[in-house]
């Protein structure tokens, strides 16, 4: 029996939890939700509070009916938006507050039905108003049928060029979309704080890593300081260092071909272990036995060293 046959047999022998959750308080009907509090029906959510019906979100408070949003508060029905406050019906907005029905706006406040504006305030359908005029018009618009507002918004969107890639505060990130605060990153999507990495999807806080999905920094109080580094072929997981071909592992280092490990180091072909070191196919070894066994399997798998 070769390594992959043994690893596959091991994975099938260990029950998979019905939900993937970590360090939750008063959260109901959630999955893949970690380090969060008072959340309901959230999926793939990290470090959030009082959120409902959200997916692929992190670092939010009081966000409802949203997807791909982060670092936001008091937002409703928003998509691909970051660092927003008290907003509703946003799409690809960054750093906005007290705004509604906006698309691709940056650092705007008190805007309504606007498209591709930057550093603006008191605008309605891309037209500038005084503060008093703005709030008078908003009072009228709130009595309008939503279809009227959306038709006006779509009309403006047709006349505004849409960039092929939405990026913020990046350096040398030539390909991808919705990349933020990153450097030397290639072919990334919905990614933030990535450096010298590539082929990323829904990942953040990551350095010198390739082929990562749903990966990056760890959760909890140290989420903003934690990174994943020198990783390859990772699906799900955070706080990793030099981990290859892993899924759903957290706070691990030097782990390979492993699944659902927590706080482990120097593990090869392991599944469902916590706080372990020098294990191969879930068998505990000495350091010398581990190094010898791993060298044997790496040779079998065609590793060049």
Instruction: Taking residues 127-132, report their average pLDDT.
Output: 97
pLDDT band at residue 304 using 50, 70 and 90 as cut-offs? confident
Indicate whether 221 pLDDT > 80: no
Tell me whether residue 2 is in a domain: no
Indicate whether 160 pLDDT > 80: yes
Indicate whether 219 pLDDT > 70: no
β partners of residue 258:
246
Task: Answer yes or no: do 68 and 142 share one domain.
Answer: yes
Tell me whether residue 246 is in a domain: yes
pLDDT band at residue 222 using 50, 70 and 90 as cut-offs? low
User: 219-225: long-range contacts (C-beta < 8 A, 24 or more apart)?
Assistant: 219/22, 219/23, 219/34, 219/35, 219/46, 219/47, 219/250, 220/23, 220/35, 220/47, 223/35, 223/46, 223/47, 223/59
Indicate whether 189 pLDDT > 90: yes
Instruction: Taking residues 209-223, report their average pLDDT.
Output: 81
User: Coil, strand, or helix at residue 148?
Assistant: helix
Task: Answer yes or no: do 213 and 152 share one domain.
Answer: no
Indicate whether 224 pLDDT > 90: no
Q: What is the pLDDT of residues 45-78, one digit of tens each?
A: 999 999 999 999 999 999 999 999 999 999 999 9
β partners of residue 188:
176, 200
Q: Compute the distance between CA of residue 232 and CA of residue 246 in angstroms, rounded to an integer.
A: 8
Q: What is the pLDDT of residues 30-42, one digit of tens each?
A: 999 999 999 999 9
Which letter, b or e, does each residue of 116-127 get, where b requires 16 or more Cβ atoms within 10 Å of its Cβ?
bbeebbbbbbbe
Q: Supply the mean pLDDT for the chain.
A: 94
Domain finish residue from 105, 126, 159: 159
Task: Answer yes or no: do 102 and 138 share one domain.
Answer: yes
CB 59 within 8 A of CB 46: yes
High-pLDDT (> 90) share of the chain, %? 86
Give the per-residue pLDDT at 142.
87
Six-digit token pair at 86?
């008290």
Instruction: Taking residues 261-273, report their average pLDDT.
Output: 97
CB 13 within 8 A of CB 26: no
Give the per-residue pLDDT at 1.
80
Tell me whether residue 282 is in a domain: yes
CB 263 within 8 A of CB 277: no
Domain hosting 74: range is: 16-159
Tell me whether residue 258 is in a domain: yes
Nearest to residue 129, comparing CAs of 116, 138, 118, 142? 138
Give the per-residue pLDDT at 305.
65
Q: What is the pLDDT of residues 73-123, one digit of tens each?
A: 999 999 999 999 999 999 999 999 999 999 999 999 999 999 999 999 999
How many residues are there in the chain? Answer: 305
Into how many domains does the chain fold?
2
Give the per-residue pLDDT at 214.
93
Six-digit token pair at 256?
């390979």
Give the per-residue pLDDT at 223.
59
Task: Answer yes or no: do 72 and 207 share one domain.
Answer: no
Domain finish residue from 94, 127, 159: 159
Q: Compute the distance between CA of residue 187 and CA of residue 95 in angstroms, rounded to an integer.
A: 24
Tell me whether residue 194 is in a domain: yes
High-pLDDT (> 70) share of the chain, %? 97
Q: Which residue matches tokens 């039905």? A: 113
pLDDT band at residue 286 using 50, 70 and 90 as cut-offs? very high
Instruction: Taking residues 246-267, report their average pLDDT.
Output: 96
Six-digit token pair at 84?
């927003």
Tell me whether residue 289 is in a domain: yes
């Amino acid at each position: 029996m070769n390594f992959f046959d043994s690893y596959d047999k091991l994975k099938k022998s260990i029950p998979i939890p019905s939900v993937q959750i970590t360090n939750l308080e008063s959260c109901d009907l959630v999955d893949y939700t970690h380090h969060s509090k008072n959340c309901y029906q959230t999926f793939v959510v990290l470090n959030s509070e009082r959120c409902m019906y959200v997916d692929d979100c992190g670092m939010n408070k009081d966000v409802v009916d949203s997807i791909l949003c982060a670092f936001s508060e008091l937002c409703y029905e928003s998509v691909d938006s970051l660092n927003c406050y008290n907003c509703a019906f946003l799409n690809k907005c960054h750093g906005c507050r007290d705004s509604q029905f906006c698309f691709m706006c940056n650092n705007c406040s008190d805007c309504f039905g606007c498209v591709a504006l930057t550093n603006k305030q008191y605008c309605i359908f891309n037209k500038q108003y005084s503060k008093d005029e703005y709030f008078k018009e908003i009072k009228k618009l709130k009595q309008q049928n939503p279809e009227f507002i959306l038709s006006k918004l779509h009309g403006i969107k047709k006349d505004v060029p849409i960039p092929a890639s939405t990026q913020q505060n990046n350096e040398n990130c030539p390909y991808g979309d919705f990349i933020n605060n990153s450097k030397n990153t290639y072919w990334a999507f919905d990614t933030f704080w990535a450096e010298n990495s590539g082929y990323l999807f829904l990942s953040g806080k990551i350095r010198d890593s390739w082929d990562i999905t749903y990966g990056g920094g760890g959760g909890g109080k140290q989420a903003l300081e934690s990174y994943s580094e020198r990783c390859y072929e990772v699906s799900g997981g955070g706080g990793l260092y030099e981990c290859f071909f892993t899924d759903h592992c957290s706070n691990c280092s030097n782990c390979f071909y492993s699944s659902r490990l927590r706080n482990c180091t120097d593990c090869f072909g392991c599944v469902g272990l916590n706080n372990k070191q020098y294990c191969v196919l879930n068998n505990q070894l000495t350091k010398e036995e581990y190094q010898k066994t791993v060298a044997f399997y790496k040779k079998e798998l065609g590793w060049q060293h």
